[in-house]
Amino acid sequence: MSLLIDGAFPRPPADLLARFAAAPTGPAPTGPLCDAMGRRGALAPAIRLMAEAPAFAGVALTVRVTPNDTLAAFAALTVARPGDVIVIATEGWAGSATIGDTFIGHARNRGVVAVVTDGLVRDLAGIARIGLPVYAAGISPNAPFRQGPGEVGRPVAIGGRRVAPGDIVVGDRDGVVVVPRERAGEVADALPAALARDAAAERAVAEGAGEPAWLAEAMRAAGIERRS
């Protein structure tokens, strides 16, 4: 059995990451971010926020563990950089937790800004005290082994998406969105318009609008026949 660790993958420039981390007053909201990506980009809704925590944006440090084993996740701590998001793919393992509060504490101390997994977590009270954003598919007190094999810094499949090391990962209460590194510039350029549309829609509601401004034209274009 072997454990592969690759921490030398390309990372997005700091100024590009900043366009997602402060767009404009904090991490980009995931809804408008998906709009800027063609209305896609989110991980499956089963991967959800485990305890109240702030929104985040960071760089994917990917991990693949084998079922019931977490050695590769701990190995990722040795190459984690400030601003990283540790993304742990478990093949959907639900027999035991993949990480707990001690792992999350180590990650915070390394400068990691969030942890995302399609597996389970434990020690929820401790995770809540630490305050680092943690997204997972559920909770179990069962513990895994730490023997390997596994991989760090290679592409993984998680939540219905391919995530490569160096992708940009953004999360809030609504979920987690992954921006492929090769598309990050394009998406960052489209993000301000998506944010502006969202803000305009919210203002219209606050001002008493009973329907969105685009609805009548969309109904005409769809050939809606009104009978009333």
Q: What's the CATH code of the domain at 139?
A: 3.50.30.40
Torsion angle in degrees (nearest 10) through CA of 12, 49, 26, 132: -80
Could you tell me if residue 225 is inside a domain? no
* Model pLDDT for residues 105-137, shown as the tens digit of each residue: 999 999 999 999 999 999 999 999 999 999 999
Could you tell me if residue 213 is inside a domain? no
Could you tell me if residue 215 is inside a domain? no
Could you tell me if residue 216 is inside a domain? no
Domain tally for the chain?
1
Could you tell me if residue 70 is inside a domain? yes
* Model pLDDT for residues 172-227, shown as the tens digit of each residue: 999 999 999 999 999 999 999 999 999 999 999 999 999 999 999 999 999 988 77
Measured CA to CA, the distance from residue 139 to residue 119 in angstroms comes to: 9
Whether the per-residue pLDDT at 1 is higher than 80: the answer is no
Question: Do the Cβ atoms of 8 and 79 come closer than 8 Å?
Answer: no
SS3 of residue 34 by DSSP:
helix
Could you tell me if residue 178 is inside a domain? yes
User: Residue 2's pLDDT band (boundaries 50, 70, 90)?
Assistant: confident
Q: Which residues pair with 57 in a beta bridge?
A: 170
Could you tell me if residue 102 is inside a domain? yes
Per-residue confidence (pLDDT) for residue 225, from 0 to 100: 80
Measured CA to CA, the distance from residue 175 to residue 30 in angstroms comes to: 7
User: Residue 7's pLDDT band (boundaries 50, 70, 90)?
Assistant: very high
pTM for this prediction: 0.95
What's the mean pLDDT when you consider all of the chain? 95
Residues of the domain holding 174? 3-194
